[in-house]
Amino acid sequence: MKILGIETSCDDTGVAIVEDGRNCLSNIISSQEEMHSKYGGIVPEMASRQHLLSIVPAVSSVLENTGMEFDDLDAVAVTHGPGLAGSLLVGVNFAKGIAFSKNMMMASINHLEGHIYSAWLGGKDPEIDPGFPLLCLIASGGHTELVLMKDHGEYETLARTRDDAVGEAFDKGARLFGMGFPGGPEIERLASRAIGSETKFTRPVVKNSLDFSFSGLKTALLRRLEMKMPSAEFDPGDIPFGLKANIAKEYQDALVDSLVSRTVKVAKNKNVKGIIVCGGVAANSLLRDKMGSESPFPVIIPEKKYCTDNGAMIGAAAWYKLRVNPEYQWAMDIIPSLRLN
Ligand code: KG4
Ligand code: ZN
């Protein structure tokens, strides 16, 4: 089954054609990074307008890359939440138009479920190996959740963040260093230039809970940078580069440590068959390495290009739904605050 996957929940326009849930035939991401970078975050109105401009060329490109026409597709799948309302509307209405006019199956996909299914892309088959239950760490700009996946489409959320998402902590941290958006890759680059170590940041703990918390770390970073400022003016440009890199390394270590220690602890409690790490932050090399070395369970992390938002993960998730239940959800709508269960 060949599925056109469309993802427009946030800032990137992602379109892909995926065969049988695992084989991505073409994957186009039209990034809005440059447009939002100077604002230090996403401007929703600009994002939805840009999706309108990008979606037709992106769909045309995946068709051209695969030598396919709309009639060669079996289904259309689209993210219907959670996300920015204006952005979701563009993808959902575009998908409805194609599916209705071509009388094609159509699936609405939860963005978080899409991230989970990115683990199936590229040939790996966790359905056979290692099996269920799987513990999924979804770490993105809007979400930080630990989800127990009992089977395809069966989820139980075990923990989430009490305040900022971990990607948000990377983004806000980068802004404090005077760097652009998205902040994750910026912090990772700066941390890789560290020449020594600094005092460690205290790891955040939410008492009597499995939940995450990241806003305290961001405040601790602000205080640390303020302390290192030679003048009363807050200007990160005044701090020597090596010192900034050392602090960025400590900040990244603290964020990654929080994710890895909590995830491994819960995985042991639930005696899972494996751990999936997904969402934009899963592109972080330290997180990938640390989870791999500290988990006693098999760890499945998608290729970096499938970690940040993309249409392929939506096409993959849809296959596991449509192969069981053919769906023609032409009347579905966006749900900006959609949850996984
Ligand atoms: O999944 P995603 O593309 O969008 C959301 O659903 O939010 O995740 C974007 C987030 C941003 O916060 C970005 O800073 C973070 O993923 N990110 C990273 C890296 N690449 C992207 N965080 C840490 N290290 C990276 N290499
Ligand atoms: Zn995402």
For residue 144, the CA-to-ligand 1 centroid distance in Å is 11
Give residue 234's pLDDT.
85
Q: In angstroms, rounded to a whole number, what is the distance separating the alpha carbons of residues 206 and 210?
A: 7
Mean pLDDT of 31-37: 88
184-219 residue pLDDT tens: 999 999 999 999 999 999 999 899 999 999 999 999
Look up residue 111 and give its DSSP letter: H
Share of the chain above pLDDT 70, in %: 98
For residue 316, the CA-to-ligand 2 centroid distance in Å is 15
Mean pLDDT of 131-159: 96
Q: Ligand 1, residue 308: give the atom nearest the CA.
A: 3
Mean pLDDT of 263-279: 97
Give residue 242's pLDDT.
96
Would you state the structure tokens that stand for residue 243, as one six-digit string?
Answer: 């010192």
**In which band, very low, low, confident or very high, does the pLDDT at 330 lie, cut at 50, 70 and 90?**
confident
CA 105 to chain centre: 26
Give residue 126's pLDDT.
56
Amino acid at 303: E
Check pLDDT > 70 for residue 127. no
Is 313 near ligand 1, meaning CB less than 6 Å away?
no
Nearest listed ligand to the Cα of residue 314:
2
The structure's pTM equals 0.96
Is 170 near ligand 1, meaning CB less than 6 Å away?
yes
Is 280 near ligand 1, meaning CB less than 6 Å away?
yes
Peptide bond into 298 cis (omega under 30): no
Entry field: residues in the chain: 341
For residue 72, the CA-to-ligand 2 centroid distance in Å is 28
| Nearest C-alpha neighbor of 199 from the set 154, 251, 150, 155 | 251
DSSP-based three-state secondary structure for 116: helix
Unique residue bearing structure tokens 């941390």: 191
Q: In angstroms, rounded to a whole number, what is the distance separating the alpha carbons of residues 332 and 179?
A: 40
Would you state the structure tokens that stand for residue 297, as one six-digit string?
Answer: 């369970």
Q: For 28-94, give the DSSP string.
A: EEE--HHHHHTTTS--HHHHHHHHHHHHHHHHHHHHHHHT--GGG--EEEEEEESS-HHHHHHHHHH
Mean pLDDT computed over every residue of the chain: 95
Nearest listed ligand to the Cα of residue 109:
2
